[in-house]
Amino acid sequence: MQKLFLAILAVVGLTFHAVASDGYTVGSSVSDFSLKSTKEKTVSLADYKDAKGFIITFTCNHCPYAKAYEDRIIALDKKYAAKGYPVIAINPNDAVQYPEDNFDNMEIRAKEKGFSFPYLYDESQEQAKKFGAIKTPHMYVLQKDGSKLTVKYIGAIDDNWEDAAAVKEKYVEAAVDALLEGKPVAITSTKAIGCGIKWKK
Amino acid sequence: MNYMPLVRKYSLLFAFGCIYLFANAQSGSVILNLAAFENRTLQKNDTLYVVNFWATWCKPCVTELPFFEQTAQAFSQQPVKIILVSQDAKTRAVQVNEFLKKNNYTSEAFILSAGNPNVWIDKIDSNWSGTIPVTLFYKNGMKVYFHEGDYASFDELEKIIHSKL
C-alpha cells in the first residue's frame, strides 16, 4: 500500500514538474493546432497562408493583468497583422474554477472589445502545456519559414502592466520589428507578467 | 529671521496637511518601492519576517491569508512578523485597505510598486516565476526561505516557521 502511495506521489510529482517547466523554448519548432474560436468554428495556424509569423498570447477574461493588457494586444494586431504577424489569443484557464473564463464569456468579451483576432479556447489545456505557458498573458512570437514555425520570443508584452503610457520597453514589438527587418531579436525572453494559468484539478 | 509669523500664518495649512495625510493613511494602503521593501525585510535582527505576496483578485492567495493571520496570533510571543505585500495595482490602494479591514486582518500590509517586474522580481528571488502567492522568509538581513505557491493549511505554514525560527 505504501509503495503504491509512493508511486502515485512520484507520478503526481513528475506531472507537476512537466506542467511547471517543460514546453517550447526560444528556438523550438512549434507544431500546429486546431482550437475552437469565438469567430470561426476552429482556427489553425495553417489557415494563415500569407503570415510571416504569429504573435500568440495565452490570455483570459478574469485576470487583472490580462484585462490591463487587452487594449495593447488589440493594438499589436492592428499594427502587425497587416505586416504578416497576426495576433492569436488562446484562453487555457479551467472554466470550472473560473466561470468568467468559460467559452460563452469569451464570446461576450471578444464582442465587447471588438477583437480583430481569433480568441481560441484551449479547453484541454494541451496547448498551454505544449507551449510551456504558465501565465495570462504569456506571449510567444513565432516566425514562419515555409511550413516551419520557430519560437523567437517568450515572455511579457512590455515593462509596465499598470500604465501603458509609462512603458519604456516594448518587448514584443521589438521582437517583431527585428524579425520584419531580418535582424536577430535582441531580447528573446523575459518573465511573463500575469496571473498563473488555472490548471484543471 | 523670525519664523514665528510664518509658522502662525501657515499653521492652519500645516494642521490641514496633517489631517489630510492621516486621512489618506486611513483610507488607502501604503505604497512602497523596492528600496523601502528591502529596508523593511532585510533587518539585522533575529525576527523572522514572513513576507507573503498576494492580491485581492488572486483566489489561492485570499484563501491562504487567514493562515498568516493565525500565524501572527500563534507566534505572538515569538520574534515572528507577518508582512502582507499586495500585488494589486497602486490605483487600488483604497480597495486593498477595505478588503483587509472587512476581513479584520491586522498584519502589516502595503502595496509594492517597483517599476519593471522583469527587474524587481529577479531582485527579490531569481527562482520566482512571478506568480502569486509567494512567501519569503527573512532573518538577520538575509532571505532564508522561498516558497512559490500556496499553503494548504495553517499547519503546513506553522511547520516551516518553526523550522526557520
Total of domains in chain A: 1
What confidence score (pLDDT) does residue A45 get?
Answer: 97
Asked, for residue B48, whether it belongs to a domain, the answer is: yes
Residue A155, pLDDT > 80, answer yes
Residue B22, pLDDT > 50, answer no
Q: Which residue of B has its CA nearest to A62?
A: B57
Residues in chain B: 165
What confidence score (pLDDT) does residue A175 get?
Answer: 98
> How far is it, in rounded angstroms, from Cα A144 to Cα A49?
10
Residue A81, pLDDT > 90, answer yes
In tens, the pLDDT along B5-19 reads 554 555 555 454 444
> How far is it, in rounded angstroms, from Cα B20 to Cα A200?
48
Average model confidence (pLDDT) across chain A: 92
Residue A180, pLDDT > 50, answer yes
Mean pLDDT, rounded, for A61-75:
97
pLDDT band at B24 (very low <50, low <70, confident <90, very high): very low
Asked, for residue B72, whether it belongs to a domain, the answer is: yes
pLDDT band at A20 (very low <50, low <70, confident <90, very high): very low
Q: Is B36 exposed, middle or buried (0-12, 13-18, 19+ CB in 10 A)?
A: middle
What confidence score (pLDDT) does residue B27 get?
Answer: 75
What confidence score (pLDDT) does residue B2 get?
Answer: 56
pLDDT band at A16 (very low <50, low <70, confident <90, very high): very low
Question: How close, in Å, is residue B71 to chain A by CA atoms?
Answer: 26
Q: Which residue of B has its CA nearest to A160?
A: B116
Give percent of chain A above pLDDT 70.
90
CATH code, A28:
3.40.30.10
Q: Which residues of A touch B131 (CB under 8 A)?
A: 134-135, 195-196
A32 CB near a chain B CB, below 8 Å?
Answer: no
Q: Which residue of B has its CA nearest to A168?
A: B116
Question: How close, in Å, is residue A49 to chain B by CA atoms?
Answer: 35
Mean pLDDT, rounded, for B29-57:
96
Across the A:B interface, residue pairs with CB atoms under 8 Å apart total 47
User: Which structural domain range is residue A103 located in?
Assistant: 24-196
Q: How far is CA B153 from the centre of its chain?
A: 21
Residue closest to A93 by CA, chosen among B59, B151, B117, B61: B59
> How far is it, in rounded angstroms, from Cα B87 to Cα B54?
6
Interchain contact, B116 vs A168, CB within 8 Å:
yes
> How far is it, in rounded angstroms, from Cα A16 to Cα A10?
10
Question: How close, in Å, is residue A61 to chain B by CA atoms?
Answer: 13
Asked, for residue B155, whether it belongs to a domain, the answer is: yes
In tens, the pLDDT along B44-59 reads 999 999 999 999 999 9
In tens, the pLDDT along A102-129 reads 999 999 999 999 999 999 999 999 999 9
Mean pLDDT, rounded, for B130-159:
97
Q: Is the dihedral of CA A65, A68, A70, A73 positive or negative?
A: negative
pLDDT band at B3 (very low <50, low <70, confident <90, very high): low
pLDDT band at A14 (very low <50, low <70, confident <90, very high): very low
Asked, for residue A100, whether it belongs to a domain, the answer is: yes
Total of domains in chain B: 1
CATH code, B153:
3.40.30.10
**Ordered strands of the A42-44 beta sheet:** A42-44, A34-37, A119-121, A87-91, A53-58, A138-145, A148-155
Interchain contact, B118 vs A195, CB within 8 Å:
no
What confidence score (pLDDT) does residue A167 get?
Answer: 97
Q: How far is CA B93 from the centre of its chain?
A: 12
Q: Which residues of A touch B117 (CB under 8 A)?
A: 156, 159, 161, 191, 193
What confidence score (pLDDT) does residue A3 get?
Answer: 55
Residue A9, pLDDT > 70, answer no
Mean pLDDT, rounded, for A122-142:
98
Of B90, B91, B118, the CB nearest to A156: B118
Give percent of chain A above pLDDT 90.
88
Asked, for residue A10, whether it belongs to a domain, the answer is: no
Residues in chain A: 201
Question: How close, in Å, is residue B149 to chain A by CA atoms?
Answer: 10
Q: Which of A162, A163, A190 to probe the B interface (max B CBs under 10 A)? A: A162
Interchain contact, A63 vs B57, CB within 8 Å:
yes
Q: Are B131 and A196 in contact (CB under 8 A)?
A: yes
Mean pLDDT, rounded, for A163-192:
97
CA angle at residue A80 from A79 to A84, to 5 degrees?
150
**DSSP assignment, residue A117?**
S
pLDDT band at A5 (very low <50, low <70, confident <90, very high): low
Residue B23, pLDDT > 50, answer no
What confidence score (pLDDT) does residue B139 get?
Answer: 97
Question: How close, in Å, is residue B133 to chain A by CA atoms?
Answer: 9
Asked, for residue A144, whether it belongs to a domain, the answer is: yes
> How far is it, in rounded angstroms, from Cα A123 to Cα A90?
10
Asked, for residue B111, whether it belongs to a domain, the answer is: yes
Asked, for residue A39, whether it belongs to a domain, the answer is: yes
What confidence score (pLDDT) does residue B160 get?
Answer: 96
Asked, for residue A93, whether it belongs to a domain, the answer is: yes
Residue B26, pLDDT > 90, answer no
In tens, the pLDDT along B56-110 reads 999 999 999 999 999 999 999 999 999 999 999 999 999 999 999 999 999 999 9
Locate A164 and state its grid cell: 501603458
Q: Which residues of B touch A168 (CB under 8 A)?
A: 116
What confidence score (pLDDT) does residue A195 get?
Answer: 96
> How far is it, in rounded angstroms, from Cα B62 to Cα A196?
14
Q: Which residue of B has its CA nearest to A136?
A: B131
pTM: 0.85
User: Which structural domain range is residue B54 located in?
Assistant: 29-164
Asked, for residue A201, whether it belongs to a domain, the answer is: no
Question: How close, in Å, is residue B104 to chain A by CA atoms?
Answer: 24
Interchain contact, A135 vs B129, CB within 8 Å:
yes
Asked, for residue B15, whether it belongs to a domain, the answer is: no
